[in-house]
């Protein structure tokens, strides 16, 4: 199992290096869509005739992508997860490798230790889920995809919940019979 944990942690570190790049590319894309949309408002072939708010919302999303780590930190604070997200390090949520082997008095402790071992992967995956929720929201408002807004809010909330998998695992296992 140690090899699987190391492999997934390496994938998570690689994905956490790519996330800031993806955020800045998405911020540039949203900014270009916003400027182009504002320019198109005065043209006769305006593609946003029924949606004049799209360029302005795209400008807001550009700022959200540029400050994505702060958005995730504020969302995690609202969810009482006590997570500080930083896109400037190799591990976006400050993961420290687990050193204790699986031990404890039962399956509850074993599951918690496994979740602790895989927590870097869960945290990085959660950040990417939240990123793709915002990106899909931009596509839904411009008409490029047919995603529901409530589904995207749920996707973003799931991504934020995955930022602290140990707390969520403890909450889920609190319903486990002793």
Is the Cβ–Cβ distance between 143 and 70 less than 8 Å?
no
Flag whether pLDDT at 166 surpasses 70.
yes
Of 15-19, 99-103, 152-156, minimum mean pLDDT range: 99-103
Burial of 150 (0-12, 13-18, 19+ CB in 10 A): exposed
Of 7-11, 53-57, 125-129, 148-152, minimum mean pLDDT range: 7-11
SS3 for 4-52, per residue? HHHHHHHHHHHHHHHHHHHHHHHHHHHHHHHHHHHHHCCCCCCCCCCCC
Residue identified by tokens 């916003």 is 34
Q: Convert the pLDDT of each residue in 25-47 to its tens digit.
A: 999 999 999 999 888 888 888 88
Q: Convert the pLDDT of each residue in 65-74 to its tens digit.
A: 999 988 888 8
Cβ density class 18-53: b for 16+ within 10 Å, e for less: ebeebbeebbebbbebbeebbebeeeeeeebeeeee
Q: Convert the pLDDT of each residue in 93-148 to its tens digit.
A: 444 455 555 556 777 788 888 888 888 888 889 999 999 999 999 888 888 888 89
* Proportion of the chain above pLDDT 70, given as a percent: 89
Per-residue confidence (pLDDT) for residue 93, from 0 to 100:
46
């Amino acid at each position: 199992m140690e090899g699987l944990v190391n492999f997934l942690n390496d994938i998570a570190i690689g994905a956490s290096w790519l996330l800031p790049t993806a955020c800045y590319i998405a911020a540039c894309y949203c900014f270009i869509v916003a400027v182009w949309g504002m320019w198109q408002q005065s043209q006769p072939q305006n593609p946003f005739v029924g949606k004049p708010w799209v360029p302005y919302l795209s400008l807001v999303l550009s700022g959200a992508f540029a400050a994505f780590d702060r958005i995730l930190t504020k969302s995690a604070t609202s969810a009482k997860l006590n997570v500080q997200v930083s896109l400037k390090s190799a591990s976006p949520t400050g993961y420290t490798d687990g050193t204790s082997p699986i031990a404890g008095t039962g399956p509850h402790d074993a599951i918690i230790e496994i979740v602790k071992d895989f927590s870097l992967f869960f945290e990085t995956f959660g950040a990417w889920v939240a990123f793709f929720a915002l990106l899909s929201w931009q596509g839904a408002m411009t008409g490029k995809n047919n995603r529901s807004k409530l589904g995207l809010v749920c996707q973003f909330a799931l991504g934020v919940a995955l930022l602290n998998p140990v707390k969520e695992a403890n909450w889920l296992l609190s319903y486990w019979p002793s």
